[in-house]
Amino acid sequence: MVSNPPVESLLQFPTDYPIKVVARTSTDLRPCIDAIVRQHCPNLKDEQIMERSSKAANFTALTYHIVADSREQVTSLVNALVDAEGVLMVI
């Protein structure tokens, strides 16, 4: 059996890491997504969050500029966001 070497990360942690969430607009979207992100990034400040609505306001894009401490933290956060109700895409 051939053993593959561990994948080295191209990122050096901690690092600034933007995460964009695109979801259907709803009244509880922002509090729900903010809570998920803050669970994984407790030091997140309001100034590190940007919100933008689509032209018809059917969709909302939230961008979080986090300081990622590890690849595992980012993976865990992305998985939690993908599982959130109404989320269509996480970039």
Top pLDDT among 11 and 32 is at 32
pLDDT at 1 over 90: no
Residues 44-73 pLDDT 10s: 999 999 999 999 999 999 999 999 999 999
56 occurs within a structural domain: yes
DSSP string, 14-83: SEEEEEEEEEE--TTHHHHHHHHHHHH-TT--GGGEEEEE-TTSSEEEEEEEEEE--HHHHHHHHHHHHH
Top pLDDT among 3 and 59 is at 59
Q: For the chain, what is the domain count?
A: 1
Q: Point out which residues pair with 67 in neighbouring strands.
A: 16
pLDDT at 27 over 70: yes
Name the band, by pLDDT with cuts 50, 70 and 90, for residue 7. Answer: low
7 occurs within a structural domain: no
Domain residue limits at 55: 15-90
5 occurs within a structural domain: no
Q: What CATH number should be reported for the domain holding residue 81?
A: 3.30.70.260
Q: Which of 26, 8, 42 is nearest to 34 (CA)?
A: 42
Task: Please state the pTM of the whole predicted model.
Answer: 0.88
